[in-house]
Chains A and B, each alone.
Chain A
Amino acid sequence: MTAAAAALATGRAAPMPTFLAPWPRTAWAALVAAHASVPAHVTDTNDAALASLMAASQAGDARAYQQLLRAILPIAAISIRRQGVPPDRVDDVVQEVLLTIHRARATYDPSRPFLPWLRAIAHRRAIDALRTHLRTAAREIFDEDAYLNHPGATQDADDALARADAAHRLRQAVTTLPPGQRQAVELLGLNEHSLEEAAGTTGRTKGALKVNLHRALAALRNRLGEGGDA
């Protein structure tokens, strides 16, 4: 385990070896990132190790970047919670923070501390989330009683009674029809038989059945009214 990896694990800053001092910072960071492990707990004191990982990430080291993003998850979550973001929203805001870090990674100056840069992003994304939450809460109203008491289209008691009443009146009107017309309505209208089936059942011709049906419908319209349910 390298010095920076040990620093991440123990929470202490990684000193850059003096023999590497003339080298570019990214070379050291890449070396560190290649051997660093994901820290169990991250504190402010390992800012330098995180800064090294970020510098390596700017140089295109995907492994260092992955380790960095994993390492900053708890730091971002704590910053977000401190802003008052509800616990069930923290993960969403952490995702926003990760996306912002990815977009803003060129703005990090390797000569400056890493954690203030990270916390500024987490702080701002938390505030954005709270504003969005407040705007949504102002627009939407949760009225549990109104929701539970709202009648559904299929559960309207008045409508069900009206339909039952109309069906009863229709059945009564059908019973008053002459036998031929009543038979045509029952077979073709109510039981939805085809003309062939009805002709076979009654022994009447298709034409006679049609005539009886039309006469029956006309009689029902007269009795129940044009706007009725018949």
Chain B
Amino acid sequence: MPDDVALQTLIADLSSQLRPVRALPPPWRRAALWCGAVLLVASVFALFADLNALMHRLMSTPDMWLSFLGALFTAILAASAAFITSVPGRSSLWALLPLPPLALWLSAGTAGCLRMEPAPGTVPEAPMHPMACIYFIVMVSVPLSILLMWQITRACPLRPALTASLAGLASAGAAAVILALVHPFDATYTDLLAHLVAVVLVVVGVRIAGERALRK
């Protein structure tokens, strides 16, 4: 039994330093708070978006609508999974939560590329359009992921890399949803690939930076 002097001294030190703490709110409530912040950012972009054209575009092309829903639920469920996995004792299987909507997002995007009929209200892509998409998703993801990681640091993730990766996926998904508001272009392979590259960049970046922050 480890009851030597060092352990007893440590226990005495920790007890003397004890301060009251408030138990963290449930993960879903913390995820809802982050989603509220995302909604706030999205509403700012919505001021500059043609929402009628967006709704017409989404409603007349099911693949775009499903892709939009996939990105939206990827963001929500990845953020929820990030908060859940940041609490000790919760199963790491929660990390699988955002995979179904992620699959929906990618498969609906691929289906859009295969569609023969052009989506109504869309315009031809500019030459540097894929780069602009990557830039937009990465730049919007930065503040969203910083906010999410700041919320997560209040917990104690025992698997920092996993939690940070989920935070990156949530941020990238949210950025893709916001991009869809101001993205009057039809689905193409280059566009889908650009989104995929941006998501991977954000996930890897947040994983590397977030893991370091969470281990401190």
A65 touches B2 (CB 8 A): no
Given the interface pairs A73-B7, A98-B14, A102-B14, the reply to whether A60 lies near B88 with Cβ below 8 Å is no
Given the interface pairs A69-B14, A121-B158, the reply to whether A107 lies near B88 with Cβ below 8 Å is yes
B7 touches A106 (CB 8 A): no
B23 touches A69 (CB 8 A): no
> Within the assembled complex, what's the spacing in Å between the Cα atoms of A92 and B163?
26
Given the interface pairs A107-B87, A117-B88, A117-B89, the reply to whether A65 lies near B21 with Cβ below 8 Å is no
Q: Nearest Cβ in chain B — how far from A120, in angstroms?
A: 4
* Chain A window 110-121, contacts with chain B (Cβ cutoff 8 Å), 1 for yes, 0 for no: 101000111111
Contact of A60 among B11, B19, B89 (CB under 8 A): B19
List CB contacts (< 8 Å) of A152-188 with chain B.
none
B1 touches A74 (CB 8 A): yes
B23 touches A94 (CB 8 A): no
> Within the assembled complex, what's the spacing in Å between the Cα atoms of A98 and B4?
14
Does A7 have its Cβ within 8 Å of any Cβ on chain B? Answer: no
B88 touches A121 (CB 8 A): yes
List CB contacts (< 8 Å) of A90-129 with chain B.
90-91, 94-95, 98-100, 102-110, 112, 116-121, 124
For residue A205, which residues in chain B have a CB less than 8 angstroms away from its CB? none
Does A195 have its Cβ within 8 Å of any Cβ on chain B? Answer: no
Q: Nearest Cβ in chain B — how far from A105, in angstroms?
A: 6
Contact of A90 among B2, B8, B26, B89 (CB under 8 A): B2
Q: Nearest Cβ in chain B — how far from A67, in angstroms?
A: 9
A57 touches B18 (CB 8 A): yes
Does A70 have its Cβ within 8 Å of any Cβ on chain B? Answer: yes
Contact of A65 among B15, B22, B159 (CB under 8 A): B15
B2 touches A106 (CB 8 A): no
Interface size class of B (residues with CB under 8 A): 20 to 34
Contact of B14 among A60, A65, A74, A124 (CB under 8 A): A65
List CB contacts (< 8 Å) of B1-39 with chain A.
1-4, 6-8, 10-12, 14-24, 26
Given the interface pairs A60-B20, A100-B156, A106-B22, the reply to whether A112 lies near B89 with Cβ below 8 Å is yes
Does B155 have its Cβ within 8 Å of any Cβ on chain A? Answer: yes
Does B154 have its Cβ within 8 Å of any Cβ on chain A? Answer: yes
Given the interface pairs A66-B12, A73-B1, A73-B2, the reply to whether A106 lies near B21 with Cβ below 8 Å is yes
Q: Nearest Cβ in chain A — how far from B142, in angstroms?
A: 26
A62 touches B16 (CB 8 A): yes
For residue B87, which residues in chain A have a CB less than 8 angstroms away from its CB? 107, 109
List CB contacts (< 8 Å) of B99-151 with chain A.
none
> Within the assembled complex, what's the spacing in Å between the Cα atoms of A74 and B1?
6
For residue A73, which residues in chain B have a CB less than 8 angstroms away from its CB? 1-3, 7
B156 touches A107 (CB 8 A): yes
Contact of B18 among A60, A77, A99, A106 (CB under 8 A): A60
For residue A121, which residues in chain B have a CB less than 8 angstroms away from its CB? 88-89, 158
B10 touches A62 (CB 8 A): no
> Within the assembled complex, what's the spacing in Å between the Cα atoms of A120 and B157?
11
Interface residues of B (CB under 8 A from A): 1-4, 6-8, 10-12, 14-24, 26, 86-90, 154-156, 158-159
Interface residues of A (CB under 8 A from B): 57-63, 65-66, 69-70, 73-74, 77, 90-91, 94-95, 98-100, 102-110, 112, 116-121, 124
> Can you name 11 A-B residue pairings with CB atoms under 8 Å?
A59-B20, A70-B11, A73-B3, A74-B1, A103-B156, A104-B155, A104-B156, A106-B155, A107-B23, A107-B86, A118-B89
Apart from A70-B8, A73-B7, A105-B21, what are 10 other A-B pairs with CB-CB below 8 Å? A69-B14, A91-B6, A98-B10, A107-B86, A107-B87, A116-B89, A117-B89, A120-B158, A124-B158, A124-B159
